[in-house]
């Protein structure tokens, strides 16, 4: 049994994530290859869950277990039997109808009844004393909002003061998207089985999963032979992207980054992008911006070269640069539009953010030398749909963006997603970051970090992945030290060195 979240450099969760729909189709094959039946697999799941809950809450004596009619409910019956055998006071409330149960679920229910266990109806008054609530109502097969009586039980559980432990996935959370179309369990712990599911890491997942624990139930060997649906990105991967610096390297080897933006009143955005790039290891940074911004930018960060943006300076800088970042503080007026029109004629690696994306939504084009970093509202404009459509299936949205616009797309948010173009494109979810990052300027800092890694010769996809992990991990470090509320984008600057130099943390 393993766990994650609230750790910076170590995590025992695997990095492979599998579609819940695929898993439901093939888990029988996996069990057969492991030489066990589906019922034995349920027993393993129930045992793993009981052991985890009992470890986290060893003094919880009064257990309320909410069971549904599917295999998730069967896992609940196994937990109930184990808890009762261990001397716990167990109450089981069932939404299930026996003739709807699978053969394996009937076996689990029968085993619970055989030790004298009772099954209370969904309308039964809850015990006065409850130390722990186990959610075994709805599993990974849910496709829409929970209906009554499930919805009402979810509401009642969330109102109770006892902590909730969810089996496999919090009831009401869609396993393949992370969407919550209706009522959803707010778990303190989620114990998931066999494989990690996409919906545990993006969409609304972070609001409802609590701490995630994982057990492969002995099917790890089978999973290793299968192609994952997507990859979970965490700080453990940083040494792979960011090896120690070559002792003989010089600034020219670390890349030349051009950053374009900072219209009237927006110079802060371009300054944050530039400093983030420098602190992430790029050799040289040049900013093209409004003339009136130059003095303040040089005063704040003299290591940055700054020039006024005009046709001549832009042509010269584009020839000089290895990588271009455009968008932070760019604005949508003629000044910014003209610059973008020139930039898009060049074939160098580039990153488009902020107003560059808003302008792109007006005149779409596909190119494969570009990283795009939209948040949900910008993504909605790029796809000409509502933000709610993006949030209902963020994974589908990021793949659509990559296939329509080309290159690599970073869909920012809780559980940031990264996807590349084409039928052989890959998708990853970023398992770092926190709510403190919901403040102005965080996206500008991210653009600088990714642009810096791109200039240091990382591939577009790896630069996006490494940049997002460094960005989120630095924010997690700050959250632990100072809390999430009131976190500023510039607060990350002194922290970045700890994550762009991952060799500092090797044991």
pLDDT digits (tens, 9 = 90+) for 279-296: 999 999 999 999 999 999
Report pLDDT for 249.
Answer: 86
Radius of gyration of the chain (CA): 25
pLDDT above 90 (res 217): yes
pLDDT above 90 (res 5): no
Instruction: Give the up-direction half-sphere exposure of residue 175: CA atoms within 13 A in the CB hemisphere.
Output: 27
Report pLDDT for 247.
Answer: 87
If DSSP codes are grouped into helix, strand and coil, which group holds residue 357? helix
Q: Does the 237-241+249-505 domain belong in CATH 3.40.1190.20? A: yes
If DSSP codes are grouped into helix, strand and coil, which group holds residue 365? coil
More confident: 24 or 339: 339
286's CB contacts (< 8 A; 6+ apart) are 256, 257, 258, 259, 304, 305, 306, 307, 317, 320, 321
In the chain, what percentage of residues exceed pLDDT 90?
A: 86
Tokens coding 345: 């004629």
Distances in whole angstroms, Cα of residue 475 to Cα of each of 8, 303, 365, 435, 496: 10, 24, 33, 9, 9
Q: Look up the pTM and report it.
A: 0.95
Distances in whole angstroms, Cα of residue 121 to Cα of each of 8, 67, 81, 184: 44, 10, 18, 21
Give the dihedral sign, CA 130/136/140/145: negative
d(CA 31, CA 28): 5
Report pLDDT for 506.
Answer: 60
pLDDT digits (tens, 9 = 90+) for 425-468: 899 999 999 999 999 999 999 999 999 999 999 999 999 999 99
Average pLDDT over residues 5-20: 72
2-228 and 237-241+249-505 have identical folds? no
Burial letters for 284-294: b for 16+ Cβ neighbours within 10 Å, e otherwise? bbbbbbbeebb
Report pLDDT for 328.
Answer: 97
* H or E element that contains 370: strand 370-372
pLDDT above 80 (res 255): yes
d(CA 333, CA 324): 20
To the nearest 10 degrees (0 to 180), the angle between helices 71-85 and 103-114 is 20
- DSSP codes, 134-189: EEES--TT--SPPPTTHHHHHHHHHHSSS-EEEESS-TTS-TTT---SS-----SE
What are the boundaries of each domain within the chain?
2-228, 237-241+249-505
Query: Degrees (nearest 5) of the Cα angle 504, 505, 507?
Result: 115
Look at residues 114, 110, 130, 158 and name the one whose alpha carbon lies nearest to residue 65: 130
pLDDT digits (tens, 9 = 90+) for 387-414: 999 999 999 999 999 999 999 999 999 9
98's CB contacts (< 8 A; 6+ apart) are 106, 109
Average pLDDT over residues 244-258: 89
pLDDT band at 98 (very low <50, low <70, confident <90, very high): low
pLDDT band at 10 (very low <50, low <70, confident <90, very high): very low
pLDDT above 70 (res 72): yes
Give phi and psi for 253, each to the nearest 5. Answer: -70, -25
pLDDT above 50 (res 4): no
Give the dihedral sign, CA 383/387/389/392: positive
If DSSP codes are grouped into helix, strand and coil, which group holds residue 55? helix
CB 60 within 8 A of CB 131: yes
Report pLDDT for 237.
Answer: 96
Mean residue pLDDT of the chain comes to 94
Tokens coding 246: 């070559």
Report pLDDT for 372.
Answer: 98
pLDDT band at 224 (very low <50, low <70, confident <90, very high): confident
Out of 26-35, 105-114, 323-332, 463-472, pick the least confident.
26-35
Look at residues 23, 21, 2, 5 and name the one whose alpha carbon lies nearest to residue 13: 2
d(CA 341, CA 361): 14
Average pLDDT over residues 93-117: 85
55's CB contacts (< 8 A; 6+ apart) are 1
Domain range 2-228, CATH architecture: 3-Layer(aba) Sandwich (3.40)
CB 136 within 8 A of CB 82: no
More confident: 261 or 27: 261
Cα–chain center distance at 170: 17
Query: Degrees (nearest 5) of the Cα angle 185, 187, 190?
Result: 115
80's CB contacts (< 8 A; 6+ apart) are 63, 65, 67, 90, 92, 112, 117, 134
Look at residues 210, 225, 106 and name the one whose alpha carbon lies nearest to residue 167: 210
């Amino acid at each position: 049994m393993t766990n994650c979240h609230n750790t910076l450099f170590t995590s025992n969760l695997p990095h492979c994530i599998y579609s819940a729909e695929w898993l439901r189709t093939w888990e029988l094959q996996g069990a057969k290859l492991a030489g066990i039946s589906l019922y034995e697999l349920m027993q393993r799941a129930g045992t793993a869950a009981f052991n985890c809950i009992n470890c986290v809450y060893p003094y919880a004596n009064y257990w309320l277990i909410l069971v549904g009619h599917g295999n998730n409910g069967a896992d609940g019956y196994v937990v109930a039997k184990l808890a009762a055998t261990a001397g716990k006071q167990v109450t089981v409330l069932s939404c299930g109808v026996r003739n709807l149960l699978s053969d394996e679920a009937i076996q689990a229910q029968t085993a619970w009844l055989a030790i004298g266990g009772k099954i209370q109806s969904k309308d039964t008054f809850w015990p006065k004393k409850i130390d722990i609530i186990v959610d075994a109502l709805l599993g990974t097969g849910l496709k829409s909002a929970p209906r009554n009586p499930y919805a009402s039980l979810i509401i009642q559980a969330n109102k109770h003061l006892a902590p909730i432990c969810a089996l496999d996935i919090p009831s009401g959370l869609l396993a393949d998207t992370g969407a919550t179309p209706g009522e959803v369990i707010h778990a303190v712990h989620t114990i998931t089985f066999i494989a990690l599911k996409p919906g545990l890491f993006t969409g609304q997942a972070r609001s409802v999963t609590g701490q995630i624990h994982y057990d492969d139930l002995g099917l790890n060997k089978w999973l290793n032979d299968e192609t994952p649906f997507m990859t979970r990105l965490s700080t453990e991967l940083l040494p792979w992207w960011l090896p120690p610096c070559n002792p003989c390297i010089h600034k020219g080897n670390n890349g030349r980054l051009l950053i374009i933006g900072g219209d009237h009143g927006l110079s802060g955005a371009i300054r944050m992008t530039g400093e983030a790039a420098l602190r992430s290891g790029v050799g040289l940074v040049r900013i093209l911006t409004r003339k009136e911004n130059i003095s303040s930018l040089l005063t704040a960060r003299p290591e940055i070269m700054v020039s006024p943006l005009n046709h001549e300076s832009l042509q010269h800088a584009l020839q000089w640069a290895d990588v271009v970042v455009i968008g932070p503080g760019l604005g949508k007026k003629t000044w910014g539009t003209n610059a973008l029109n020139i930039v898009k004629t060049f074939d160098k690696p580039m990153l488009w953010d902020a107003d560059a994306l808003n302008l792109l939504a007006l005149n779409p084009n596909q190119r494969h030398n570009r990283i795009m970093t939209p948040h949900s509202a910008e993504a909605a404009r790029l796809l000409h749909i509502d933000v709610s459509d993006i949030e209902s299936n963020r994974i589908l949205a990021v793949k659509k963006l990559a296939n329509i616009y080309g290159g690599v797309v970073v869909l920012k948010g809780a559980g940031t997603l990264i996807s590349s173009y084409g039928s052989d494109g890959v998708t990853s979810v970023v398992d770092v970051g926190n709510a403190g990052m919901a403040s102005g300027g965080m996206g500008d800092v991210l653009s600088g970090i990714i642009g810096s890694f791109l200039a240091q010769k990382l591939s577009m996809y790896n630069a996006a992945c490494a940049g997002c992990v460094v960005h989120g991990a630095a924010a997690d470090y700050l959250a632990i030290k100072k809390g999430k509320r009131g976190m500023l984008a510039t607060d990350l600057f002194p922290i970045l060195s700890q994550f762009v130099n991952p060799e500092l943390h090797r044991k």
